[in-house]
Amino acid sequence: MASGSGTGVTSTGRGGGATSSYSTPASLLPSAINAAPSASYIVSSHPLSSSASSSMGPTDLALSRSFIPRTSSLKDSMESYRAYRDERKEPHGVLRTYDILGFLSSGTYGRVYKARLKEDNALALKRNRRAAGSGAFSRTAAAERDAKILAEEESNVFAIKKFKPDKEEQTGYTGISQSAMREIALNRELSHINLVTLREVILEDKAIYMVFAYAEHDLLQLIHHHHVTLRSSISSAVLKSILHQLLYGLSYLHSHAVLHRDLKPANILLTSSGILKIADLGLARLSSQPLQSLYTGDKVVVTIWYRSPELLLGARHYGTAVDVWAVGCIWGELLALRPMFKGDEAKGDGKKGTPFQGDQLKRIVEVLGTPTKDRWNDIDLMPEYKTWWPHLRLEGYPGALYHWYTVRAKTSSGFDLLENLLQYDPAKRLSAAQALDHPWFKEMPLPTAE
């Protein structure tokens, strides 16, 4: 740290490791510390004295005591001590650690920025990598996994997601949003080559920042590039590799009882080396042994064009099949270079509950045909079926998925897998793990890991 006229402070790293020194300019120190200590500010019998003396050096202890008024209550003493501690804390924050390179995107959650690790921090990171790779621990399977994750950080470029408060008009601290809590908790526990890697979480100025490994593209950009710039379809080899990686990452999530609940092209990233990364776990939920129905916590999940029929008909209980349906919709979009079921979303006024998405259901029936009892035995048990279905006039539609697929794919290869991902009945849909074992992935061209 830059030094100058002021007070030198030495801090010890976690676990009693290496120490770091820095100087605090005298102008930034409280007047109680700059001035000669007066009798009214030093109390040897202060409640903090005994506990502080065990973990502080003589200089630190004298400084902390001088910062606490003689007449303060225990509560005021603690607040004064915290202010002193924050004053002498080694600086750490977003702008102290990263150089912001530009703006990437924004949404209901907040904004995402592209950033590069500052040079001093990058050098420290490289030293840590070398140290981690030199010991016996580096030969374990866990370290091999971590080495893959660290390899993603070699460019020292990251994506920083800044969450905005729940109520921006309030100047006070409103706490952490449910979406942020979910995403932080799950990303800290999950680790897979096809999931985005969380590097760290920073809480600064009452804002939450999540720092992720950077991925250069997403599937929405890929679709737009082929549709507008190249004006050509995505090759079967690339499409098959994307789907295989997507199902591989999704199978990992589902094996850990995690539902993503918002799979769509914009939330699926691609690195420059072609590795797919599932992102945005803000709507994700653990599905094992829920205390209440998933519908109770979140009445609207999954972006409308990728929402499964059971969700559209108001299912109170659902499982991993909602994510599998979304994969089928994404596959169709990669083929057609436009959303497969592009319905018009009905907007609610917030007073009459969640609006029924009849047009979206109609778009699905136009391609898949009318769902009969043979195709979906429990359709009449769906909460919205008796209320809305008779008014939709969707009887007698023939199935057109085979024609839809072969016209765009120029082959029937792969149709069986798509059909089994887009089954009306969630119980009949393949799981992500079952889809990975489908014979289509064993046909040429074979999918690659990149």
Q: Where are the domains of the chain?
A: 30-88, 94-213, 217-442
pLDDT in the model for residue 24:
38
CATH class for the domain made up of 94-213: alpha beta
| Dihedral sign from CA coordinates of 42, 44, 50, 55 | positive
CB 287 within 8 A of CB 294: yes
Neighbours of 13 (CB within 10 A): 9
For 395-414, how does the pLDDT look when each residue is reduced to its tens digit (9 = 90+)? 889 999 999 999 999 999 99
Right CATH number for 217-442 from 3.20.20.10, 1.10.150.120, 3.10.129.10, 1.10.510.10? 1.10.510.10
Token digits of residue 263: 């799979």
- pTM of the predicted protein model: 0.73
pLDDT at 23: 39
pLDDT in the model for residue 49: 39
Q: At what angle do helices 321-336 and 236-255 cross, to 10 degrees?
A: 170
Residue 349 to residues 353, 354, 357: CA-CA distances in angstroms?
A: 8, 9, 14
Nearest to 219 by CA among 285, 258, 274: 274
What pLDDT score was predicted for residue 309? Answer: 94
Look at the chain and count its residues: 450
The reported pLDDT for the residue numbered 418 is: 98
Indicate the residue type of 189: E
pLDDT of residue 311: 92
Residue 206: its pLDDT value, please? 77
What Å distances lie between residue 372 and 51, 192, 333, 358, 400, CA to CA?
Answer: 73, 39, 26, 17, 15
User: What b/e readout covers 321-355, taking b as 16+ CB neighbours within 10 angstroms?
Assistant: bbbbbbbbbbbbbbbbbebbbebeeeeeeeeeeee
Would 94-213 and 217-442 be classified into the same CATH topology? no
Reported as a single tens digit per residue, the pLDDT across 93-124 is 788 889 999 999 887 778 999 999 987 665 55
Residue found under tokens 């080495």 = 147
- Note the pLDDT of residue 160: 94
CA 405, CA 334: separation in Å to the nearest integer? Answer: 11
pLDDT value, residue 79: 76
- Supply the residues annotated as catalytic: 262
What residues of the chain score a pLDDT lower than 50? 1-58, 132-139, 141-142, 144-145, 169, 171
- pLDDT for res 292: 58
CA 39 to chain centre: 54
* Burial of residue 67, with CB atoms counted within 10 A of its CB: 0-12 exposed, 13-18 middle, 19 or more buried: buried
* 420-440 exposure pattern, b = at least 16 Cβ within 10 A, e = fewer: bbbbbbbeebbbbeebbebeb
